[in-house]
Chains A and B, each alone.
Chain A
Amino acid sequence: MFAALNRILAILIKEFIQMRRDRMTFGMMIMVPVVQLTLFGFAINSDPRHLPTLLYLEDESAVVRSLAAGLQNSTYFDIEGQVSSAKEGTDALQSGKVAFVITVPAGFTRDLLRGDKPQVLIEADASDPSAASNAVGMIQQIVNSALRQDLKGEWAGLSQAPPPVDIIVHRMYNPEGISQYNIVPGLLGVILTMTMIMITSIAMTRETERGNMENLLAMPARPWEVMVGKIVPYIGVGLVQTAIVLLASAYIFGVPFIGSFWLLALGVALFIIANLAVGFTFSTIARTQMQAMQMTFFFFLPSLLLSGFMFPFRGMPEWAQAIGQIFPLTHFLRIVRSVMLKGSDFAAMWPNIWPLLVFIAVATAVAMKRYRSTLD
């Protein structure tokens, strides 16, 4: 009985010693809860407000101005300015610059005062249905209360029910608000992030762990030759995964694909390379496969939470959005969703393509700098 206790104690002590030695695991045990608490507690918000909005005003009057002020004051809409044509508004929606375009048609004030119930058109980017839904749900109420202040005196009767204006909502790119349209393309990014980083970092650390590295380094291969040789097979893996997700997306989930296949291919290629560069960098830091795994996880978690995959990007406070901009997944999600659902073109996607290029450049530079051609 005591012997068994002693043996258990011996194993327990050994585990504690090893746990303490492995600084990275130890750090992870502390950092994971801290990061999770911060992200879930402060960054994530499922009721996004301050959504960028453009106005297309064909009619400008005091009433329209107070309508705009009412939208702004609601905190759901951030009026970023006006457009001078409907096309300008559509372009801004398509490139993802704004979430809403609100159109006040010509003759709005006149019709309103006549009691003709004029229309206000709100075009919402519904490619992420959950991001837009609350604001859209609130708009009638916001408009009514904004107008109530102006409709006083002889027009006070108009502000009584029924509502004085008719709000037409266009849910663009995903009229039925099907969440798979948003999630399935996004999953492509999530799957690629997870596997690309993990596979490369583990494959490389395994060689260090098993002693193969000493052998490889003793042979005349240049660092960049090793890097390219090790990364290229996984690009192939990434492409296979992409094909699987896209096929499932089209034939199982019925997600539309209205954009350019080649633009998406470019995005996928850049994204895969960015993740492989991260994996390679991790492998130059981690000493064991276990550490490589932990680093992958530590990168993956905030990517998932701050990229806009799980929660609307615009719902996060600015500091969280700023961090989110660093992750390749954030930009890739925008590319894949925009290209598939909105049919965005290269110019519209450039704001998300260049950050990927910068990321690749930085990550590769770090990887090359950290890659040692000696055992030191």
Chain B
Amino acid sequence: MTKAGDNLAIDVRGLTKTFGKRKAVDSVDIAMPRGQVWGFLGPNGSGKTTTIRMLCGLLRPDAGQGTCLGYDILKHSREIKRQVGYMTQKFSYWEDLTIRENLEFVANLYDIANKKQVVDDTLEQLGLTTRQKQLAGTLSGGWKQRLALAACTLHSPKMLMLDEPTAGVDPQARRDFWDQIHRLSAQGLTVLVSTHYMDEAERCDQIVYIAYGKLMAQGRVEDIIDQSGLYTFVAEGTGVRELMERLRNKTGADHVAYFGNALHVSGGNLDALTALIKGEQVVGIIWHQARPSLEDVFIHLMGQSVDNTAVA
């Protein structure tokens, strides 16, 4: 019963979904080994949620095939649903049930052993034991996320698909959440998590970057940066923000972004970029070449994909 793809948690090829005339997901291939934590990134509307829904059997792909945890995504969605914990982007637990009732409902649907104990433990871990009788709808946004995460791991799934689980969650809770993800992953759980946070992307074993439905990059963060063919200069000092408008649309500077108290100017052509920077030496501003950050690369990839779709 051992096949070549058995060590892959997700193995899909040519996954495509069309809504009306628009291809929300266009021929996406993903081969993800078991036990890893993968980040799923891409701009808004790029097709992350749609892809995840197809992987766990909530949407039928228009084209493509493959397996999830060894089960055919087209034929065996029931088995997939049993073993996957899916956390929706929008809170989708029952707001008119209490926290405890929601957890009990999930426990019953999956028919897990030791229901009461598991629910009690989960409440304890969440620190919600004293608030278990509160209606889920009255929780704050971040707490809803935390409840949803706890609920979707209740049945000890083999794989987690988390759609922006940390959106609106405070930094401490976000850190706790990632610690938990890594703890679960160490126990053999596979995790695919979509996010817009760069620091979260960097905590992943690998990332998949998708834009306008097309897979743009896949691999380790380091490799993606290395393979981007991007060069970045960073300007620091007083008044760098004023430089921003000037450098925009200048030849050589494909992207100009201000973050982390510094101006990041990136481009694919090193000579043109160097020439541009040479002409922009101002007193009080220090330029140095730096390794492009993931964010620089993503902004670059996003720009490329726009060009692609414009041509297509």
Name A's B-contacting residues (CB within 8 A).
Answer: 210-215, 217-222, 373-376
Within 8 A of A (CB), among B95-123: 95, 106, 109-110
Within 8 A of A (CB), among B59-107: 59-60, 77-78, 81-82, 84, 86, 88, 90-95, 106
Which chain A residue shows the least CB distance to B102? A215
Across the A-B interface, give the 6 residue pairs with the lowest CB-CB distance, nearest first.
Answer: A215-B92, A218-B86, A220-B81, A211-B92, A220-B82, A219-B109
Complex CA gap A212/B110 in Å reads: 16
> A215 touching B59 by the CB < 8 A rule?
no
Complex CA gap A215/B91 in Å reads: 9
- Total number of residue pairs linking A and B with CB closer than 8 Å: 47
Complex CA gap A219/B154 in Å reads: 12
> A218 touching B58 by the CB < 8 A rule?
yes
B residues in contact with A222, CB < 8 Å: 78
CB distance from B113 to the nearest CB of A (A): 16
> B58 touching A219 by the CB < 8 A rule?
no
Complex CA gap A212/B136 in Å reads: 13
Complex CA gap A213/B110 in Å reads: 16
A residues in contact with B213, CB < 8 Å: none
Contact A219-B92, Cβ < 8 Å, known A374-B57, A375-B58, A376-B59? no
Contact A375-B88, Cβ < 8 Å, known A220-B78, A220-B110? no
Query: Can you pick out 10 interface pairs between chain A and chain B where the beta carbons lie within 8 Å of each other?
Result: A211-B90, A217-B58, A218-B57, A218-B58, A218-B84, A218-B86, A218-B88, A220-B109, A373-B77, A375-B59
CB distance from A375 to the nearest CB of B (A): 5
Name B's A-contacting residues (CB within 8 A).
Answer: 53, 56-60, 77-78, 81-82, 84, 86, 88, 90-95, 106, 109-110
Which chain A residue shows the least CB distance to B161? A218
A residues in contact with B92, CB < 8 Å: 210-215
> B88 touching A374 by the CB < 8 A rule?
no
Q: Which of B58, B77, B82 contacts A214 (CB 8 A)?
A: B58
> B60 touching A376 by the CB < 8 A rule?
yes
Q: Which of B90, B91, B94, B106 contacts A219 (CB 8 A)?
A: B106
Complex CA gap A219/B78 in Å reads: 8
Which chain B residue shows the least CB distance to A206? B96
B residues in contact with A213, CB < 8 Å: 92
Complex CA gap A212/B148 in Å reads: 12
B residues in contact with A374, CB < 8 Å: 57-60
CB distance from B183 to the nearest CB of A (A): 23
> B88 touching A214 by the CB < 8 A rule?
yes
> B60 touching A218 by the CB < 8 A rule?
no
CB distance from A287 to the nearest CB of B (A): 16
> A219 touching B88 by the CB < 8 A rule?
no
Complex CA gap A222/B56 in Å reads: 15
Complex CA gap A210/B91 in Å reads: 9
CB distance from A226 to the nearest CB of B (A): 10
Contact A211-B88, Cβ < 8 Å, known A219-B106, A221-B109? yes
Complex CA gap A214/B86 in Å reads: 10
Which chain B residue shows the least CB distance to A207? B94
Which chain A residue shows the least CB distance to B86? A218
> B59 touching A219 by the CB < 8 A rule?
no
Which chain A residue shows the least CB distance to B19? A376
CB distance from A215 to the nearest CB of B (A): 4
Complex CA gap A375/B91 in Å reads: 16
Greatest chain B CB density within 10 A among A212, A215, A375, A376 is at: A215
B residues in contact with A215, CB < 8 Å: 88, 92-93
B residues in contact with A376, CB < 8 Å: 59-60
Which chain A residue shows the least CB distance to B80? A220
Contact A219-B81, Cβ < 8 Å, known A211-B90, A212-B92, A212-B94? yes
